Amino acid sequence: MPASPKILFLATEDWFFASHFLPMARAAREMGLEVVVVARVRDARAPIEATGARLVALEADRRSLDPRAIGGAVGQVAEILRREKPDILHCIALRSILIGGAAARQAGIGRLVFALTGLGFLGAKRGLVGVAARLGVRTAIRRVFETPGTRYLFENPDDPRLLGLDPGAETMTIVGGAGIDPEALHPAPLPGGETLRIALVARMLWSKGIDLAVEAVGAARAGGADVELSLYGAPDPANPKAIPAEQLDEWSRRDGISWHGPTRDVAAVWRNHHAACLPSRGGEGLPRTLLEAAACGRALLTTDVPGCRSFVRDGIEGRVVQPAAAPLASAISALARDRPLVARMGEAARARVLDGYTERDVMEVVKRLYASLLPA
């Protein structure tokens, strides 16, 4: 009996794969593929292996841009690829694409999926530095690592253009983010009381605009709006854009602001809040936090940056403003005065999730993608 085709996912961290990409592993298993996940292993082995995937440890520091560290990671991945001999290599996020693309050349792997789940620094950085960085990555991916069997997977239509790619090309697939289970996350009645309760659930990074949310709520309260902001999330010690815990503690001492640390029960967060806020400065794919809040029927406050603006339509599911405190404060103040509008936006957000952004939607899209790379 011939062996099943094999797909190998390359990710930076096991928790990152477990929080966003389990539907893709399940989709591959539904197709009868053998699934291998290569990542730095910490605490997320169980949910990954529960999909039927096999987890292979890769110890590589995702913070380091030292060419020697990157070269060492390329060598490790190339050795894994030679041993595993996958039919498809699916590289998740920019660093994995650069390392996996180089390793695939060494190992002779030609069927590749480059999944850019957001451009991070490349997407958020403006000016000549950002242009130069995007050009360098574009050159590496398109001219060095791309093969005739390369396909691209994006979470919004803006990111391909930033890399000089046509989002409508046959080699491009746009997917509805990580996908949401609408049965696990469902609407609950809005909490009572006069105070508009807003939550921001994300890693505590400057790029997520946490400071903009704090400043905007402070300004809205100073203008008479009855509003409170709850922050849920932890600083990411491996990310240079992490907000120090001391700064989060200082914000939490301000009137109307509270930092609760990370949460494992996001549904409970949304049961106790009226609206979600993510004032990102850019670099997003399609933020899972917006999908989760929308699935729970909550209005969305976000910014006019790739990923956020492709999901939230201004005035329908919520408000889309420029990434600055003043317009965000104005939007918050308006919602604080109009609770029926908050409810209508939450209902629209739930309907939006059900129209192409569920786990099943994502699974069917990636199954078609994988099938296109495998022999008939």
Q: What is the DSSP string of 249-296?
A: HHHHTSTTEEE----S-HHHHHHT-SEEEE---S--SS-HHHHHHHHT
Phi, psi of 198 (to 5 degrees): -110, 140
- The answer to whether residue 191 is domain-embedded is no
Residue 239: the pLDDT is 81
Q: Taking 60 as the threshold, does the pLDDT of residue 126 lie above it?
A: no
Q: Taking 60 as the threshold, does the pLDDT of residue 370 lie above it?
A: yes
Q: Taking 60 as the threshold, does the pLDDT of residue 125 lie above it?
A: no
Q: What is the pLDDT of residues 179-191, one digit of tens each?
A: 999 999 999 999 9
Contact 281, 306 (CB under 8 A): no
- The answer to whether residue 333 is domain-embedded is yes
Q: Taking 60 as the threshold, does the pLDDT of residue 77 lie above it?
A: yes
Residue 180: the pLDDT is 94
Q: How large is the average pLDDT for residues 334-338?
A: 97
Residue 128: the pLDDT is 66
Are 49 and 115 found together in one domain? yes
Are 141 and 208 found together in one domain? no
Are 334 and 369 found together in one domain? no
Are 115 and 243 found together in one domain? no
Q: What is the pLDDT of residues 270-294, one digit of tens each?
A: 999 999 999 999 989 999 999 999 9
Q: How many structural domains is the chain composed of?
A: 2
- The answer to whether residue 190 is domain-embedded is no
Residue 127: the pLDDT is 61
- The answer to whether residue 59 is domain-embedded is yes
Could you tell me the residue range of the domain that residue 288 belongs to? 196-354
Q: Taking 90 as the threshold, does the pLDDT of residue 140 lie above it?
A: no
Q: How large is the average pLDDT for residues 195-212?
A: 97
- The answer to whether residue 184 is domain-embedded is no
CA distance 155 to 116: 8
Are 121 and 61 found together in one domain? yes
Are 20 and 48 found together in one domain? yes
> At 76, is the pLDDT very low, low, confident or very high (cuts 50, 70, 90)?
very high
Are 14 and 121 found together in one domain? yes
- The answer to whether residue 1 is domain-embedded is no
Are 215 and 329 found together in one domain? yes
Question: pTM for the full model?
Answer: 0.90
Q: How large is the average pLDDT for residues 37-43?
A: 94
Are 339 and 369 found together in one domain? no
> At 318, is the pLDDT very low, low, confident or very high (cuts 50, 70, 90)?
very high
> At 300, is the pLDDT very low, low, confident or very high (cuts 50, 70, 90)?
very high
Q: How large is the average pLDDT for residues 218-243?
A: 93
* Rg (alpha carbons) of the chain, rounded to whole number: 21
Q: Taking 60 as the threshold, does the pLDDT of residue 167 lie above it?
A: yes
- The answer to whether residue 341 is domain-embedded is yes
- Residue 2 CB coordination number (10 Å): 4
Q: Taking 90 as the threshold, does the pLDDT of residue 10 lie above it?
A: yes
Residue 236: the pLDDT is 81
Q: Taking 90 as the threshold, does the pLDDT of residue 156 lie above it?
A: yes
> At 65, is the pLDDT very low, low, confident or very high (cuts 50, 70, 90)?
low
Q: Taking 60 as the threshold, does the pLDDT of residue 202 lie above it?
A: yes
For the chain, what is the mean pLDDT? Answer: 92
The SS3 call for residue 219 is: helix
Contact 168, 317 (CB under 8 A): no
- The answer to whether residue 16 is domain-embedded is yes
Q: How large is the average pLDDT for residues 117-126?
A: 59
Contact 358, 326 (CB under 8 A): no
26 to 1, 6, 101, 372: CA distances (angstroms): 23, 13, 24, 17
Are 129 and 213 found together in one domain? no
> At 241, is the pLDDT very low, low, confident or very high (cuts 50, 70, 90)?
confident
Q: What CATH number is attached to the domain comprising 146?
A: 3.40.50.2000
Are 130 and 100 found together in one domain? yes
Q: How large is the average pLDDT for residues 140-151?
A: 82
Residue 124: the pLDDT is 52
Residues of the chain with pLDDT > 70, as a percent, come to: 91
Residue 271: the pLDDT is 98
CA distance 45 to 57: 10
Q: Taking 70 as the threshold, does the pLDDT of residue 2 lie above it?
A: no
> At 261, is the pLDDT very low, low, confident or very high (cuts 50, 70, 90)?
very high
Are 32 and 128 found together in one domain? yes
